[in-house]
């Protein structure tokens, strides 16, 4: 922990202070400190470059600086375009304007309740209010669709906080025409009507959490059209950066939890399995149970859970099997490291076992010394200031906005199971005597299809989350995926894989564009949970057939090295391509289509079946 | 708190907002004399001064002040114990 007031030690210190920042003056100090640091020692790395536009119905200048810093903290290097005061409708609908010319990846709209065009009369009948809700909702979504159609960008749009006044008192809760009642209805309608490329920035929820009086101050609105109270700006920029981060693939996947005084009260080694405090028997036990319920809900939406604890392994496992009050069970965890070595070692082991990067992890521990150690040894790991009040743990983890996502797919809900079956598969590999018999024993079935509508969210998600087996690390949005699917110059493929241990879902993505007589592979990636199964060969077999059908003479492959994707560097050599050029940025490979064959694989491939409807959910 | 102390405090608030380390304000200084003291800075200064002294201005009150001296006077007025 840094002592209050001491200068932050470089980027990690600035980012940690930003996470804790609750007031505007501190945010500004951090912005200045980061500007100085950027001048002297450059930007933190690694990062994803992105063009972010900030437009809206309020003054944006005081938000822009903080937003830039919050994006940097998410590993995004933004180029920021700031629109004019209350110009967003014009800017977003002008296909020839400066905003469209900026070609934003993400447009952040700071719309406020003052952008509501007409309010209902207090005694307006329900039907009239509902019609007004629809038209106000449409007038907020229309500019979003316009800029999306022009540039293919994703749009972040605010839900609206209420304005602190009512003319009719508590009766308003029953009157659809009451202004608070109307704003609530409008927010619900936005949630229902927002298309996939519009992501709601839940300002209404932020105002509720902080208290409306603290979140919004009419004086600042009258003075300078400030959309939020100054001290609420840090909340707003962190939340916005988390949403943009998820759209750009900067989100975390796994929570690593400590056990003693984190999942239950007391020290297991001292109190014994029967003695630790969890469950409805005590207030503290209830609070720990509630935290376990929260973690379980994270797991159910696709976040992986793992344990890093200083305990005897056998004893730690018995706490889960022998105490019925335990909400989490051993099979909720994808990795369980209970041992007496430094936690940084356990966390490294967990990342290796699960096959994800350290920057995908959040470490949750009540002990400040352990947190400090992990921050120092593994700066990529997010470490929230947990404190010592278990009732606050869910809110603290929530406030870090580590697990934002633009959509929820069926793969998310099955994630723990698929990681577990992968571990079983690696156990089976250890048992099998040779690779072909092992691969055959997996009884793998693949479905290879061009990009299809129902799979678009998952395809985009995979391009944004996959770092290791990713040839070009090109991130694409659902809209770009859709555009490729519809353009006959592209060959697109997705691959779903199932084996005797379970269904892995959609795990590989390929897209290539015809350029003259060649097919140029611009994106190829595979979830690391199916590495070394030969799925890339099965996919390539189908691509070769498609290339022949298209009538091209050769296929050009590109590999762009990053600090994460070394495992994919020899793919084209394995597929029989010849190295054509090599620079630090990329290697280029070429393969004549005539006579080319995909390497041997052991997967039964189906290229005709329809995808399951499950992806739609 | 003397007016001089109030002025020192206000100076440090303004200096932070307009980002001039060696800023010097006097009673006769006007917003237009200070580079960067625009309407946006005005709101930030208002927030800073309110926080620093634990007071609250009325809407439009600060924008209507002629110079720093008047601001110091208003702050002193608010800080004086009631009655």
* Cβ contacts of B59 on chain A, cutoff 8 Å: 218-219, 222-223
Selected residue with higher pLDDT from A165 and A24: A24
pLDDT tens-digit readout, A497-546: 988 777 788 999 999 999 999 999 999 999 877 877 889 999 999 999 99
Asked if A363 and A396 count as a contact pair (C-beta separation under 8 A), the reply is no
Report whether pLDDT(A245) > 60: yes
Among A310, A534, A538, A527, smallest CA distance to A415 is for A527
pLDDT at A224 (0 to 100): 84
Asked if residue A38 has a cis previous peptide bond (ω within 30° of 0), the answer is: no
pLDDT at A609 (0 to 100): 59
pLDDT at A610 (0 to 100): 52
Report whether pLDDT(A616) > 50: no
**Cβ of A226 and B43 within 8 Å?**
yes
pLDDT tens-digit readout, A534-568: 899 999 999 999 999 999 999 999 999 988 888 88
**How large is the average pLDDT for residues A439-451?**
88
pLDDT at A432 (0 to 100): 63
Handedness of CA A243, A396, A226, A64 (dihedral sign): negative
**Cβ of A223 and B46 within 8 Å?**
yes
Among A170, A204, A181, A189, smallest CA distance to A126 is for A181
Residue B28 φ/ψ, nearest 5 degrees: -90, -5
* Cβ contacts of A221 on chain B, cutoff 8 Å: none
Rounded to whole angstroms, the Cα distance separating A127 from A563 reads: 58
pLDDT tens-digit readout, A94-143: 999 999 999 999 999 999 999 999 999 999 999 999 999 999 999 999 99
Beta strands at A254-257 and A76-85: parallel, antiparallel or unpaired: unpaired
pLDDT tens-digit readout, B21-52: 899 999 999 988 998 888 778 888 988 898 88
Asked if A164 and A170 count as a contact pair (C-beta separation under 8 A), the reply is no
pLDDT band at A430 (very low <50, low <70, confident <90, very high): low
Rounded to whole angstroms, the Cα distance separating B21 from B19 reads: 6
The dihedral region occupied by A417, where left means phi > 0, alpha psi between -120 and 50, and beta the remainder, is alpha
**How large is the average pLDDT for residues A363-384?**
93
Residues above pLDDT 90, as percent of chain A: 68
pLDDT tens-digit readout, B7-24: 999 999 999 888 888 999
Report whether pLDDT(A6) > 70: no
Rounded to whole angstroms, the Cα distance separating A348 from A256 reads: 11
* Cβ contacts of B16 on chain A, cutoff 8 Å: 25, 28-29
Shortest Cα distance from A182 to chain B (angstroms)? 28
Burial class of residue A481, CB neighbours in 10 A (0-12, 13-18, 19+): buried
Quote ipTM for the complex: 0.76
The verdict on B14 touching A (C-beta cutoff 8 Å) is no
**Cβ of A223 and B16 within 8 Å?**
no
Element (H, E) at A204: helix A203-210
**How large is the average pLDDT for residues A77-103?**
94
Rounded to whole angstroms, the Cα distance separating A386 from A520 reads: 49
Report whether pLDDT(A3) > 50: no
pLDDT tens-digit readout, A458-509: 898 889 888 889 999 998 888 889 999 999 999 999 999 988 777 788 999 9
Alpha helices in A355-448 (DSSP H): 368-377, 393-399, 410-431, 435-441
pLDDT band at A333 (very low <50, low <70, confident <90, very high): very high
Element (H, E) at A498: strand A490-499
- Write the CB contacts of A5 (distance below 8 Å, at least 6 apart in sequence): none
pLDDT band at A615 (very low <50, low <70, confident <90, very high): very low
The verdict on B2 touching A (C-beta cutoff 8 Å) is no
Selected residue with higher pLDDT from B43 and A382: A382
HEC assignment per residue over A553-574: CEEEEEECCCCCCHHHCCHHHH
**How large is the average pLDDT for residues A425-444?**
74
pLDDT at A565 (0 to 100): 86
Which residue in chain B is spatially nearest to A59 when comparing CA positions? B40
pLDDT band at A414 (very low <50, low <70, confident <90, very high): confident
**Cβ of B59 and A222 within 8 Å?**
yes
Beta strands at A198-201 and A106-110: parallel, antiparallel or unpaired: unpaired
pLDDT at A5 (0 to 100): 41
Beta-bridged to residue A508, according to DSSP, are A495, A526
Element (H, E) at A614: none
pLDDT at A533 (0 to 100): 85
Rounded to whole angstroms, the Cα distance separating A421 from A568 reads: 23
Residues above pLDDT 70, as percent of chain A: 95
Asked if A330 and A318 count as a contact pair (C-beta separation under 8 A), the reply is no
Mean pLDDT, rounded, of chain A: 90
Buried b (16+ CB within 10 A) or exposed e, A219-252: bbbebbbbbbbbbbbbbbbbbbbbbbbbbbbbbb
pLDDT at A2 (0 to 100): 38
**Cβ of B44 and A226 within 8 Å?**
no
Lowest mean pLDDT among A24-33, A110-119, A290-299, B74-83: B74-83
């Amino acid at each position: 922990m840094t002592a209050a007031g001491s200068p932050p030690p470089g980027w990690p210190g600035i980012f940690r202070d930003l996470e804790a920042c609750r007031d505007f003056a501190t945010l500004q100090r951090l912005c200045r400190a980061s500007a100085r640091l950027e001048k002297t020692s450059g930007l933190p790395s690694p990062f994803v470059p992105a063009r972010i536009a900030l437009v809206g119905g309020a003054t944006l200048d005081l938000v822009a600086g903080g937003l830039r810093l919050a994006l940097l903290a998410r590993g995004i290097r933004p180029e920021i375009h700031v629109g004019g005061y209350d110009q967003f409708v014009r800017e977003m609908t002008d296909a020839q304007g400066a905003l469209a010319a900026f070609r934003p990846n993400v447009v952040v709209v700071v719309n406020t309740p003052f952008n509501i065009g007409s309010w209902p009369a207090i005694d307006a009948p329900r039907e009239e209010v509902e019609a007004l809700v629809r038209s106000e909702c449409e007038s907020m979504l229309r500019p979003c669709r316009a800029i999306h159609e022009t540039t293919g960008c994703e749009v972040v749009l605010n839900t609206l906080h209420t304005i602190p006044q009512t003319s009719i008192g508590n009766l308003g809760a029953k009157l659809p025409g009451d202004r608070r009642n109307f704003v609530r209805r409008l927010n619900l309608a936005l949630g229902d009507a927002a298309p996939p490329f519009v992501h709601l920035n839940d300002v209404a929820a932020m105002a509720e959490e902080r208290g409306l009086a603290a979140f919004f101050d009419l004086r600042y609105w009258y003075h300078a059209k400030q959309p939020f109270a100054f001290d609420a700006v840090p909340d707003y920029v962190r939340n916005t950066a988390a949403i943009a981060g998820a759209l750009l693939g900067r989100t975390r996947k796994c929570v690593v939890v400590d056990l003693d005084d984190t999942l239950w009260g007391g020290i297991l080694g001292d109190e014994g399995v029967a003695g630790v405090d969890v469950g409805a028997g005590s207030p503290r036990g209830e609070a720990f149970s509630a935290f376990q319920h929260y973690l379980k809900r994270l797991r159910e939406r696709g976040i992986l859970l793992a344990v890093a604890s200083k305990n005897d392994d056998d004893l730690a496992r018995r706490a889960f099997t022998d105490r019925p009050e335990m909400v989490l069970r051993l099979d909720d965890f994808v990795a369980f490291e209970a041992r007496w070595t430094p936690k940084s070692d356990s966390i490294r082991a967990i990342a290796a076992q699960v096959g994800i990067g350290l920057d995908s992890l959040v470490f949750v521990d009540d002990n400040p010394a352990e947190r400090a150690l992990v921050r120092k040894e593994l700066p990529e790991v997010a470490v929230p200031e947990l404190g010592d009040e278990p009732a606050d743990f869910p809110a603290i983890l929530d406030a870090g906005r580590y697990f934002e996502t633009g959509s929820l797919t069926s793969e998310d809900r099955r994630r723990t199971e698929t990681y577990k079956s992968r571990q079983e598969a690696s156990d089976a590999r250890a048992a099998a005597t040779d690779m072909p018999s092992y691969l055959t024993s997996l009884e793998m079935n693949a479905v290879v299809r061009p990009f299809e509508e129902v799979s678009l969210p998952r395809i985009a998600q995979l391009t944004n989350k996959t770092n290791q087996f990713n040839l070009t690390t090109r991130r694409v949005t659902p809209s770009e995926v859709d555009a490729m699917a519809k353009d006959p110059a592209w060959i697109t493929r997705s691959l779903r894989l199932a084996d005797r241990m379970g269904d892995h879902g959609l795990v590989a993505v390929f897209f290539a564009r015809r350029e003259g007589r060649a097919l140029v592979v611009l994106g190829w990636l595979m979830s690391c949970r199916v590495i070394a199964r030969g799925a890339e060969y099965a996919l390539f077999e189908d691509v070769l057939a498609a290339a022949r059908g298209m009538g091209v003479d050769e296929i050009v492959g590109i590999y762009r090295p990053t600090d994460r994707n070394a495992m994919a560097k020899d793919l084209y050599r394995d597929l029989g391509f010849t190295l054509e050029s090599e620079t630090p940025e990329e290697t280029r490979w070429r393969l004549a289509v005539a006579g080319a064959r995909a390497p041997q694989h052991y997967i039964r491939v189906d290229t005709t079946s329809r995808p399951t409807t499950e992806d739609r959910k | 708190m003397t007016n001089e102390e109030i002025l020192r405090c206000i100076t440090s608030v303004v200096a932070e907002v307009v980002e001039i380390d060696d800023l010097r304000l006097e009673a006769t200084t006007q917003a237009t004399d200070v580079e960067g003291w625009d309407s946006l800075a005005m709101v930030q200064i208002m927030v800073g001064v309110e926080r620093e002294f634990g007071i609250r201005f009325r809407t439009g009150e600060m924008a209507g002040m002629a110079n720093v001296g008047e601001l110091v006077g208003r702050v002193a007025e608010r800080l004086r114990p009631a009655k």
